[in-house]
Structure 1
Amino acid sequence: MPQIHGHCDDRFAGVREAFEENFTERGELGAAVTVLVDGATVVDLWGGWADAARTRPWERDTLVNVWSTGKGPTALCAHVLADRGLLDLDAPVAHYWPEFAANGKESVLVRHLLSHRSGVAGPDTPLTLEELYDWETVCARLAATAPWWEPGTRSGYHAISYGFLVGEVVRRITGLRPGAFLRQEITGPLGIDFTFGLPESETHRLAELVQERPDRAAQAALLDRMTPVAVASLLNPPTGRAAPNTPAWRAAEIPAANGHGTARAVAALYGIL
């Protein structure tokens, strides 16, 4: 059992117990958890290791790629613009991003992007990892893609495309990608330790992502059942086990999938929402 650091209010002792059980019963390597109530920090715990070799302890300021948790901060950028009257959630996306109107998307509204209802769950042509790392390439592909279903009629998870779609609207209005806008308007002024991608100067604080080896048979069976929409959303391109630990992934801006921060930062950002 690794040593657990930080503090936990007595009334939330169950959170500490559950956190410890992740290590004793579920094979947790390293982790952190922070809980805010009415702006006050009532739980702030961390422990374990930041690498598979167990050479680096998880510290108070250890950063981790938080995957889809970055969708919230991406949405926050859009909501800040809406709050300032610069973004109309009921306006067509093409009002801000004219190229997006291609292939039947002229009626897609900004709120459809935010609620996974645009039909653009992913590009309709294959992307390579190198192309995923290029903002302009991904946005051009998404703008040219026909919706996978009639926009606004149903919801379907925009696993990777969400960050580019919402983020490009932010860029068209402000001239800044969501990472720069978030830093300028929110995380910088408030001292929140969160970025899209990760500056090379901060990699010494980064936790290695360690995934269990997949059950090949179960994985193959799952792939056989996946619809073309699911493939477009989740596997275009397939990131694999290694990509998120590479410098290329960290250097890119993929707001729906490569936000990096501490548990404390995530709690602060979602507290704002």
Structure 2
Amino acid sequence: MNQLVIKMAFMKSALLVCITAVAVLYLPNLWTKPLPLLISGTTAPGFEQVLQLYRENFANGVEYPIGGSAFSVYYKGSKVVDIWGGYADSEALRPWMENTMAVVFSTTKGVAATCMALLVDRGQLDYDRTVASYWPEFAQEGKENITVRMLLGHEGGLSYTTRDITEELLGDQEALSQVLAESPPIWEPGTAHGYHALTFGLYASQLLRRADPKHRTLGKFFKEEIAEPFGIDFFIGTPFESFYRVGRLTGDISGIWSTLIKGLVDPMNREMLVSMVTGKNKDIFTVLERYPLVALKNYRRAEVLALEQPSATGVGTARAVAKLYGVLANGGQTIEGQRLLSEDIISKFIGESKAPSFDRSIGLETSFNLGYEITKIGGVEQFGHPGSGGMQGRADPQRKLSFGYVSSYHSPFGIGNDPRFSTLQKATYECLNKLEGQ
């Protein structure tokens, strides 16, 4: 009898979740007045299908009508797709422009990983040395044997800190350094991996400060060594004078539960939700609790985006993300011959990666290596990083192809599974296969 009652209660709860998901997904659209469709940009010959699909995504509701987005592709170092559409602020009817930027959330981590790789390439950092050999204060609470490789691979057990990471703390590098150094691992380093959603970039920046001869923060290092020399329109710490270019974050900004419920149509989101309910992803709630700024409404504030948080507050154009990964996909240099990274270091990103395994923070199988997420599409491996709300940056070194996707609409798909990006990526590969005769 008790089992029957429990089963009926579970079915009732499941039905309620499904009804809620349908309601939050579709009912608001019944009262939304359609806005004029705005699409701009260019494609190289042979990639026209991508622009056509982008238009269809807006027309068919794959793209969200109250937001805007941009998609860019580089092939063999040249820009072949550069398109944008929708609104940077639909309430103000401000259209998405060629230079509109977006908050890219965890896609920032891939940019941070590139900064670390540049130090390794210069011989100023070694993936297999301990973090403490560069940052002695780090060797507290059992962290003395954590290597740079383990830290960048989310294997250090440092997914949250003993104290809350506040806005004030992010503005004080010395105080932040102390909090990070004194925090103990949550699991034995090297025995498991769990996504360091909000601490990855903070630890990376403190390590970079010690390894860099000029002792710069990661945001300043990126600006001076990569962004300015290579013309990458991207910030880790957005200047106040550039804030006007940032699309106003909209969509689901109410929290992780609402986001996952909205995304129940996706198997990955369902699996993640089950892991949260059953406690398989052990750390996620503490991760969020220790980071008061996690509420997405904070990412609308210029003061927050001005802070250097290389885990989550990067701001840039889709073109910038694709251009950076385009250099990496093209063997580490531009078509003009300007070199960012050696081919040897780039070969390690995928070549030294591990097979996907259970991620104790996310509750899914993931593969991270040297700061990048490793994925497969059509049998071809890519490195890059997704961002919350559907943001993406990816490189396919085998095809010398790169992608950047950004949006002001925070979708329910934050782990690389957003149909806005995946449909465009698929269309790009189809165009490329035709051009290459495959």
TM-score relative to the length of structure 1: 0.91
Q: Does 1:259 align with 2:314?
A: yes
Tell me the equivalent position of 1:155.
193
What residue identity is the alignment partner of 1:121?
S
Q: Does 1:4 align with 2:44?
A: no
1:74 to 103, 107, 112: 112
Tell me the equivalent position of 2:299.
244
Tell me the equivalent position of 2:373.
none
Structure 1, 212-221 or 169-178: larger mean CA deviation: 212-221
Distance in 1 (alpha carbons) for counterparts of 2:134 and 2:255: 44
Tell me the equivalent position of 1:111.
149
Q: Does 1:89 align with 2:124?
A: no
Q: Is this contact kept in 1: 2:130–2:146, CA < 8 A?
A: yes
Provide the secondary structure at the position in 1 that maps to 2:41.
Answer: strand
Structure 1, 214-223 or 26-35: larger mean CA deviation: 214-223
Structure 1 residue 233: deviation in Å? Answer: 3.1
Runs of 4+ in 1 over 4 A off after TM superposition: 213-228
1:145 to 1:228, Cα distance in 2 relative to 1, 3 A: farther
CA deviation vs aligned residue, 1:38-63 (integer Å, no higher than 9, x gap):
11111100111101414211110111
Distance in 1 (alpha carbons) for counterparts of 2:194 and 2:255: 26
Structure 1 residue 250: deviation in Å? Answer: 1.5
Distance in 2 (alpha carbons) for counterparts of 1:252 and 1:264: 23
Provide the secondary structure at the position in 2 that maps to 1:7.
Answer: strand
Sequence identity (%): 39
Structure 1 residue 136: deviation in Å? Answer: 3.2
Structure 1, 9-18 or 85-94: larger mean CA deviation: 9-18
Q: Is this contact kept in 1: 2:254–2:295, CA < 8 A?
A: no
Structure 1 residue 218: deviation in Å? Answer: 5.4
Query: Where in structure 2 are the equivalents of 1:120-269 lying within 5 Å?
Result: 120-174=158-212, 175-212=215-252, 214=254, 229-238=283-292, 239-269=294-324
Q: Is this contact kept in 2: 1:123–1:232, CA < 8 A?
A: no
Distance in 2 (alpha carbons) for counterparts of 1:234 and 1:68: 14
CA deviation vs aligned residue, 1:181-226 (integer Å, no higher than 9, x gap):
1111111111111110210111121111112265897579967656
1:219 to 1:74, Cα distance in 2 relative to 1, 3 A: closer
For structure 1, the residue ranges without an aligned partner over 5 or more in a row are: none
Q: Is this contact kept in 1: 2:72–2:82, CA < 8 A?
A: yes
Distance in 1 (alpha carbons) for counterparts of 2:291 and 2:255: 21
Structure 1 residue 14: deviation in Å? Answer: 3.8
RMSD (Å) for aligned C-alpha atoms: 2.3
1:109 to 1:211, Cα distance in 2 relative to 1, 3 A: same
1:95 to 1:189, Cα distance in 2 relative to 1, 3 A: same
Q: Is this contact kept in 2: 1:211–1:241, CA < 8 A?
A: no
What residue identity is the alignment partner of 1:112?
M
Q: Is this contact kept in 2: 1:124–1:232, CA < 8 A?
A: no
Q: Is this contact kept in 2: 1:121–1:159, CA < 8 A?
A: yes
Provide the secondary structure at the position in 2 that maps to 1:153.
Answer: coil
What residue identity is the alignment partner of 1:185?
E
Structure 1 residue 164: deviation in Å? Answer: 0.8
| Corresponding residue pairs, total | 273
Structure 1 residue 87: deviation in Å? Answer: 0.4
Q: Is this contact kept in 1: 2:253–2:295, CA < 8 A?
A: no
Q: Which has the higher strand share?
A: 2
Tell me the equivalent position of 1:65.
103
Structure 1, 109-118 or 136-145: larger mean CA deviation: 136-145
Q: Is this contact kept in 2: 1:63–1:206, CA < 8 A?
A: yes
What residue identity is the alignment partner of 1:162?
F
1:184 to 1:230, Cα distance in 2 relative to 1, 3 A: same
1:224 to 1:126, Cα distance in 2 relative to 1, 3 A: farther
Distance in 1 (alpha carbons) for counterparts of 2:165 and 2:304: 15
Distance in 2 (alpha carbons) for counterparts of 1:14 and 1:153: 46
Provide the secondary structure at the position in 1 that maps to 2:223.
Answer: helix
Distance in 1 (alpha carbons) for counterparts of 2:101 and 2:251: 17
Q: Is this contact kept in 2: 1:34–1:43, CA < 8 A?
A: yes
1:213 to 1:259, Cα distance in 2 relative to 1, 3 A: closer
Tell me which structure has the larger Cα radius of gyration: 2
Distance in 1 (alpha carbons) for counterparts of 2:257 and 2:135: 43
1:149 to 1:217, Cα distance in 2 relative to 1, 3 A: closer
1:155 to 1:14, Cα distance in 2 relative to 1, 3 A: farther
